[in-house]
Amino acid sequence: MKVVIVGGVAGGATAAARIRRLDEQAQITVFERSGYISYANCGLPYYVGGVITDPGELTLQTPESFFSRFRITMKVRHEVVALHPDKKSVSVKNLETGELFEEPYDKLVLSPGARPTQPGLPGMDSDKLFTLRTVEDTLRIRSYIDRNHPRSVVLAGGGFIGVELAENLREAGLHVTIVQQPRQLLTPFDPDMAAFLHSEVRSHDVTLALGHTVEGFKERDGGIDVLLKDADSLHADMVILAIGVTPDTALARDAGLELGIRGSIVVNDRMETSVPDIYAAGDAVQVRHFVTGEDALIALAGPANKQGRIIADNICGGDSRYRGSQGSSILKLFSLTAAATGLNEAAAERAGLRADKVVLSPMSHAGYYPGGKLMTMKVLFERETYRLLGAQIIGYEGVDKRIDVLATAIRAGMKATELKDLDLAYAPPYSSAKDPVNMAGFMIENIADGTLKQWHREDLPALLQEKRATLLDVRTPGEYAAGHIEGFANIPVDELRDHLSELPKDRPVYVICQSGLRSYIASRILEGNGYEAFNFSGGFRFYNAVQSDQRLIESATPCGMDSV
């Protein structure tokens, strides 16, 4: 059996190695158009910023090491330029010599990945403008920085690559501005959770120009202008485009393979394309979203590696199935860790799901053990069924393990109320006897049985306008004086029972505290005394962070963000 693989990074390299482990006799050839195989895409920004100093650390294997261990022929700097399904061959161009030749196959695996989105804007040919996809791109950017010593950079795009580059370039001493068409960074997170990311970025002197559209580029005064729609241009020494990726599927299109979302390759759960004996994996394929069941594009390394393994199993006579992606991801952003899995609120709404949420601010470990830090958790679930839909967490230590627990719970089909039953490891340096994941489950169970009624930030305008409810802040007078929502009276929770006569019983009471715990206790006191009470989800800390961020976004203009 002869297997040809197009693309030697995540999905392609995984498929090749797995096929060899299952079939010692298979003839396996991999064509990779770059000069590197099996490289760590996720590590590229850290080489640009100097955190990783040896470019050799970016590659997990070399063609020589791959052949030595697996007897797999890895042909780098070879680009597959055409597929011929009718005669089961591919046309290949040797990029070093220009030679063109045909390579036959019995089974073909497509793992071309995705390319950086490059809009047809004026000035895209500037040598001060870069994209980041391959090791070569990384070396080119690093070489430009070492040679020209730029003082400022504009990053067009605020996704994972954009913010990772922002951190690394800022740590390397450059003044960094991020331009992003959406009014937030990292759209897998809801805008209210992204507020914490914005605050962290701003605290490290990264300038945010959110809600602005790039219209082109123009070299000026030894640097480059980033032209914005309806705003003054930004000037910097260099620009890196990080506005997203597009499935690299021209080969599949030209060969007549069925395409889906944004030109991605349609595959079934065995990773088979519409053409017999051709498989596809990675960022170029359309997958099923595990939570919604709908078609989706999810460009992450984990799914690509799993898909490559499934392809290998099926090529070698097995029957492996890909059950879908749920978009589990995590990011380091200066001192913060941000992680998400499943759906956010916007995605749930697009899918037609009636979602509810809890927002909590637990400590990373037992409060009495030194060093604990707050994290902000948002857990989404379906209203009627309490099916777990997604989660977002932003904090410091312990974020990674909580998001992985929640991702596993979603994969296992658990209800959100069942999070309370999880038996999770506890010792004071690592967690609390009631782990944050358990706490989310307790809160959701309270909602399910009617013990807890919630209100959210989006409910506030109507409450203030209609004036049909009692608005109550149960923090201490000092906390209240340091900042509160206009229209809320202050009665500390420990004094509430002594002031119940001041609250009319014919009006619902909407309660807020710093984190949501004291206001929950207050709501139970009120309910026990004949009032209808609603607890604010997330507390004043959460509300204030979001409101402050919204004010900064509204007031910010690109003016004054010229190169330093």
Q: Which residues are catalytic?
A: 42
Antiparallel, parallel or unpaired: β 376-382 and 388-395: antiparallel
Closest CA to 87 of 213, 275, 273, 219: 275
Closest CA to 88 of 102, 68, 73, 70: 102
Closest CA to 342 of 333, 334, 351: 351
- Name the helix (H) or strand (E) containing 49: none
Antiparallel, parallel or unpaired: β 73-76 and 27-32: parallel
Give helix then strand counts, H and E, for the chain: 15, 31
User: DSSP readout, 373-414?
Assistant: -B-EEEEEEETTT-BEEEEEEEEBTBHHHHHHHHHHHHHTT-
**Rounded to whole angstroms, how far apart are CA atoms 263 and 231?**
33
Question: Burial level of 279, CB count in 10 A (0-12/13-18/19+)?
Answer: buried
**Rounded to whole angstroms, how far apart are CA atoms 431 and 445?**
21
Rounded (5°) CA angle 456-458-463: 85
Backbone angles phi, psi at 361, to 5 degrees: -130, 70
H helix intervals, 474-555: 477-482, 517-528, 539-555
**Rounded to whole angstroms, how far apart are CA atoms 377 and 375?**
6
Structure tokens at 206: 């990264």
Structure tokens at 61: 């294997």
CB atoms within 10 A of CB 253: 14
**Rounded to whole angstroms, how far apart are CA atoms 291 and 351?**
10
**Rounded to whole angstroms, how far apart are CA atoms 44 and 168?**
10
Taking a C-beta distance cutoff of 8 angstroms, is the pair 160, 136 a contact?
A: no
Antiparallel, parallel or unpaired: β 234-236 and 265-266: unpaired
